[in-house]
Structure formats: C-alpha cells, structure tokens
Amino acid sequence: MTITLQDCRERDAQDPLRALRDHFTLPAGQIYLDGNSLGVAPTAAAARVAQVVQQEWAQDLITSWNKAGWVDLPLRLGNQFAPWLGAHADEVVFTDTTSINLFKVLTAAARIAAEDGPARRKLLTERSNFPTDLYIAESICAQHGLQLVLLEPEEILHALDDDAAILLLTHVNYRTGAMHDMAKITAAAHARRILCVWDLCHSAGAVPIDLHAADADFAVGCGYKYLNGGPGAPAFVWAHPRVVNRCAQPLAGWFGHAAPFQFTPHYTPAEGIRRYLCGTQPILSLSALQCGLDVFSASEALGGMEALRAKSLALTDLFIALVESRCAGHGLELATPRAHEKRGSQVCLARAEGLGVNGVGSGAYAIVQALIARGVIGDFRQGDGGVGVHKDILRFGFTPLYVGFEDVWNAVEHLRQVLETGEWHEPRFHQRNAVT
C-alpha cells in the first residue's frame, strides 16, 4: 500500500501525544531527528534557569541551598524519573556525567567481584559499545587487574563463564539502534554469578525499562538525549539495594558523605544511592534538566511510556517503509533491526565504501550534511571495520515527545531529493566538521 503525505497528516491529527510537542522549542524550518544525540529545549527551560539565576542565586544567594531545596535536587529529580526506569524511591540520583558515573559503578562492581570471587578476572563488554564505555572499562581493568574482553552481540551469552566478573552493556546500541534483552542477558549472567552494569543512554525515556524486573545490579544514563536536559546535562546512576551499600564508590566527595556538614576529616559514605554523589552539585544544569523531566510527568496522563513506545515504533516503522519505497537504488541498507523487541528509537542506514565521490568513501557523511543544509537534522557515524559496523552510518533519532508523522514524510522526501539530484556531491558537504 502506498503511503501518502495526507496519510501522515491524518496520523498526526489522531496522535494522542501531539500536545506534548508544544512543551518544546522547535526551530522553524527544521525537522529534528537527532534527539538521540541532543534533545531539544523545553520551552520552560529558559524561564526556569533565569529564575534560578535572577532570584535563587542573585537575590537569595546561599540561603537557596535550604530555601529553594538545592541540596536535595539530585535525589528529587531521581525520584521523579525513577518510575520510568523501573526503580523505586530513593534509588536514583542525577549527578556528574555518564563517564564519571560509569567509573563509579564499575569500580564498585570490581570491588564486590573481588570479595565474592577473586579468581574472576574478566570484564566483558560489546566491541561496538559506545567508546567512552570502552575507555572507562579499560581504565578499570588497568586499576583492578582485570582483562577486558570485547565481544560481538552474538558472542555475549556464550562468553558468560566462571572467569567473568562483570558484564557491561549498553541497552540500545548507539550506532545501530539494536536493543538487548536486558532481563534475559542479566538472568544468564547472574546464573554464573556475574555482575551486570547497564548503560541506558540510548534507551532511557525512549523505550520501556524495568531495572528491578530485570534484576540488574547497576545502571547509568545521560540527561541530554531523550530526557531533553540540555547539552552536558547531569547524568543518572542507579544501584540495586542488594549492592548499593556493599562498598563505597571511589570518588569520595563531600556530597556523598553521611553527614557532609559535620565536616569530619575522614570519609563515611552515606547510606543508599546518595553515596554516589561526589562534589557540589551543578544547580543551573539540574534545574534545566527538571524541565525535561517535567514533560515526562505530563505525558503520564496521556499514556506514559506505553504510549511513547507505541508512537516511537510507529514513527520508525514509517521511516523504514518510506526509505525503502522512495529511496531504493541508492546504496542504503537498513542497519537497525526490524523486529520491535530488538529496536530502540532510532533508525540507522548503512552505506558501503566505494559509493562515495569517484568511488572514495561511502558518501554517507556528505549526504547527512546535505540534509542538514536542508533543515533535516540527523548525524553520521563512521564505520570502524568491525563485524556488522564496518559501513558508514546515517543515523536518525525519533523522539516521540515532539517528532510527528509529517516530519518523517518530509525528511524522507528531502533524502530522496538529495540522492536523486546528486546534491551531496557538492564539495561543501565533504568538509569534515569537528562534531559529526
């Protein structure tokens, strides 16, 4: 069946989540399909940050730690978002960055694993994991005498053995959008007494997550993608109650102290997730992040995560169908799984080497740049020679809070025109930017 522009407009008119788009500032003339890299600005964010600057900081000054509740903001935001992670009250805090929080939980996991079974010397992870995860894992292995083992997705279950101490995985792969079965993999790892650490950067706020149902051990995730917290927004960290108090995390800052204002010379970690705090918290950033979380709270009356997931799948199904029907013959291949249970909220199109200008490269980068020049914002990820990820990737994220079905139609129409006219051959689209 042929899909028309009018079909897409009718789906937008019937969309129960359509009103949520009004919570965001969307630049005129742009179709934003990069929320899996940086979410758009909530309309409330500018006024909220101004209030913090002009009143809470400029007028109330240091009294705002008590008067405005700054001191509890990391935990309050954690409690606000915890249900979206399948976490309980007082189990999540927003603080620091994903990389720093991953360092904290991997160190804790390494210490726990050493207590439980010192003979276990391997940290397992996916070879195509996001690079910061791999770099932090390398650092942890060097510090704790562990061996880092890089695996292809199909090798993970077979690699769970009695030599493994920790399994670190990203729930949704940043390059392909492929989603792991968290409950299945965690259960298999626990059967071999392996601790499971999950990175939720590309799934939190976009796909259903239930950390307790999956029985995970630790989880981290960022605030600036699907949570729309702003560039560099604080990340979050979660630890299961059975492990949260087993050891102190390595960054023993005063906000993680059991009694920070007693100013004792020696460190005593707080009970529970507060021990994963470190230094003085970034109140301006946390306040902006709250505006993003408030939209999730507003969406609960419209069906919550079930409705968001249904729309996400509908948007990505539509994009795939339109690309395959309208952009055939231009070397694009679907890199994202078709099966709903294996797909996050993004669609990645691969383009092989040799399809670029004069047979050099793939042209994927230039195609993305040509789309950006037309106001269709996606991004590019370079292939790295590994199994299944050796091809360059055109990556498009579909945030159901603000992306509509007509947006999808128009984005694919621009892609079709860029490919059919050869517009991407223009030299200006081949100039590499620092951020791709």
Has residue 129 got a pLDDT over 90? yes
> Which DSSP state fits 246?
T
**Is 211 a residue whose pLDDT tops 80?**
yes
Name the percent of the chain lying above pLDDT 70.
Answer: 98
The rounded distance, in Å, linking the Cα atoms of 288 and 174 is 24
In a shared domain, residues 291 and 308 = no
| pLDDT averaged over every residue in the chain | 95
Other CB atoms within 10 Å distance of the CB of residue 60: 15
CB contact at 8 A, 207 and 223: no
Q: Are residues 27 and 68 in the same domain?
A: no
Bridge partners of 377? 32
Residue 291 has pLDDT above 70, yes or no: yes
Q: Of 265, 281, 299, which residue is a domain's last?
A: 299
Report whether 371 contacts 406 (CB < 8 A).
no
- Considering the domain architecture, whether residues 139 and 152 belong to the same structural domain is answered as yes
Helix (H) or strand (E) segment spanning residue 164: strand 164-170
In this structure, are 273 and 183 located in the same domain? Answer: yes
pLDDT of residue 374 exceeding 90, the answer is: yes
**Residue 368, in any domain of the structure:** yes
Full domain range(s) for residue 90? 49-299
Tokens representing 88 are: 């309980």
Which is nearest to 398 in space by CA: 332, 348, 347, 333?
Answer: 347
Lowest mean pLDDT among 1-5, 276-280, 293-297, 340-344: 1-5
Q: What residues form DSSP beta bridges with 170?
A: 199
Look at residue 423 and tell me if it is in a domain. Answer: no
With respect to residue 41, please indicate whether it lies within any of the assigned structural domains.
Answer: no
Task: Please give the pLDDT value at position 358.
Answer: 72
For the residues 174-202, what does the mean pLDDT come to?
A: 97
pLDDT number for residue 123: 98
Query: What is the CA angle 180-184-186, rounded to 5?
Result: 90
| Residue 319: pLDDT over 60 | yes
On whether residue 126 sits in a domain, the answer given is yes
* Number of structural domains the chain divides into: 2
Active-site residues: which are they?
A: 130, 199, 224-225, 395
Q: Is residue 433 part of a domain?
A: no
Determine contact, residues 375/29, Cβ cutoff 8 Å: yes
pLDDT surpasses 80 at 390: no
Can you spell out the DSSP letters for 326-394?
HSTTSSEEE-S-SSGGGB-SEEEEEE-TT-SGGG-S-SHHHHHHHHHHTTEE-EEE---SSTTT-SEEE
Which residues, 6 or more positions from 35, have their beta carbon under 8 angstroms from its beta carbon?
225, 226, 228, 397, 398, 399, 402, 403
Contact (CB, 8 A) for 384 and 390: yes
- Place 387 in a pLDDT band, splitting at 50, 70 and 90: very low
54 and 27: one domain?
Answer: no
CATH code for the domain of 393: 3.90.1150.10
Query: Does 287 share its domain with 409?
Result: no
CA-based radius of gyration for the chain: 22
| pLDDT value at residue 388 | 47
Which is it for strands 332-334 and 346-351: parallel, antiparallel or unpaired?
A: antiparallel
| pLDDT at residue 329 tops 90 | yes
Q: Rounded CA gap, 134 and 435, in Å?
A: 20
**How many residues belong to the chain?**
436
Specify if 435 maps to a domain: no
430 inside domain = no
329/234 same-domain check:
no
pLDDT at 434 over 90: no
CA distances 231 to 51, 98, 227, 235, Å, are 19, 13, 11, 11
> Do 187 and 101 fall within a single domain?
yes
Find the mean pLDDT for residues 377-401: 83
* Per-residue confidence (pLDDT) for residue 130, from 0 to 100: 95
